[in-house]
Amino acid sequence: MLKIDNLKVSYGGIHALRGISMEVPDGKIVTLIGANGAGKSTTLRTITGLVKADSGSIQWNGSELLGRSIDHIISQGIALSPEGRRVFADLTVLENLKIGAYLRRNKAEIEKDLNWVYELFPRLKERSWQLAGTLSGGEQQMLAVGRALMSRPKLMMLDEPSLGLAPLVVQDIFKIIQEINKLGVTVLLIEQNANMALKIADLAYVLETGNITLSGTGAELLTNEKVKEAYLGKRKD
């Protein structure tokens, strides 16, 4: 389980996170929804060690992550598929995927997981020798998710996986997220498409200007009037 307690993060005097506390139980899909600038990406980047926290605690299976190196955090089974995909445009699909396994040494296991990623994303196998920068947006998103999976994560964090994608591609991405979860990977999802995210989430949190203002099951938040009005495009009469 990932447990965040009273986490505070600031950038040059601006408080990005104002003491948030949340839990991501093993084997569940947890989503964090909120407007741009609410602190969602900061939360994920702090978990992975990319951003330094002012105070608080982030524990993974009882072990403190704050202050640990990024490679140590990844080695504990935590992976991030970042916002904007961030694929290596001048490398092939296969080279991008192998970068995801850079901390691993067992070549046979890496090859096994590569085939698993190709089963999840057949299009990546078809384009394994194509430069990542020439892929469509949806294919790049698949590659970003596949690259993160190559680290064999226990916790998979996805930052805006549907951003800028066509509706049909978004549906495919969400099906894959559910498939990954069924295989035993815990998922922490940040998503502006709140409707889709809440439909697949076991647990959900609403983050507003650095504070968690609501929490509950995905189903509960889908029917919450405040959430409907603010994030689901449904206005009160």
Per the CB < 8 A criterion, the answer to whether 88 and 99 are in contact is yes
- Partners of residue 36 on adjacent β-strands: none
Sheet hosting strand 14-24, strand order edge to edge: 14-24, 2-11, 55-60, 63-64
Determine, yes or no, domain membership for 180: yes
Per the CB < 8 A criterion, the answer to whether 159 and 106 are in contact is no
The pLDDT value recorded for residue 108 is 92
Q: Where are the alpha helices (DSSP H) in the chain?
A: 40-47, 70-75, 93-99, 107-120, 122-126, 137-149, 167-182, 194-200, 218-222, 225-231
Rg, the chain, Cα only: 18
CA dist 199 to 8, 90, 160, Å? 29, 36, 15
Per the CB < 8 A criterion, the answer to whether 61 and 25 are in contact is no
Handedness of CA 234, 24, 50, 131 (dihedral sign): negative
Assign 163 to helix, strand or coil.
Answer: coil
Per the CB < 8 A criterion, the answer to whether 5 and 61 are in contact is no
Residue among 120, 108, 171, 126 at smallest CA distance from 146:
120
Q: Please count the structural domains in the chain.
A: 1
- In order along its 237 residues, the chain shows pLDDT tens digits of 999 999 999 988 889 999 999 999 999 999 999 988 899 999 999 999 999 999 999 999 999 999 999 989 988 999 988 876 689 999 999 999 999 888 788 999 999 999 999 998 999 999 999 999 999 988 998 899 899 899 889 999 999 888 888 888 888 889 989 999 998 999 999 988 899 999 999 999 999 999 999 999 999 999 999 999 988 875 544
The pLDDT value recorded for residue 237 is 42
Which residues touch 168 (CB under 8 Å, ≥6 apart)?
none
Determine, yes or no, domain membership for 236: no
pTM, 2 dp: 0.89
Determine, yes or no, domain membership for 94: yes
Domain that holds residue 12: 2-231
Determine, yes or no, domain membership for 122: yes
Determine, yes or no, domain membership for 145: yes
Determine, yes or no, domain membership for 197: yes
Read off the CATH number of the domain in which 95 is found. 3.40.50.300
Determine, yes or no, domain membership for 237: no
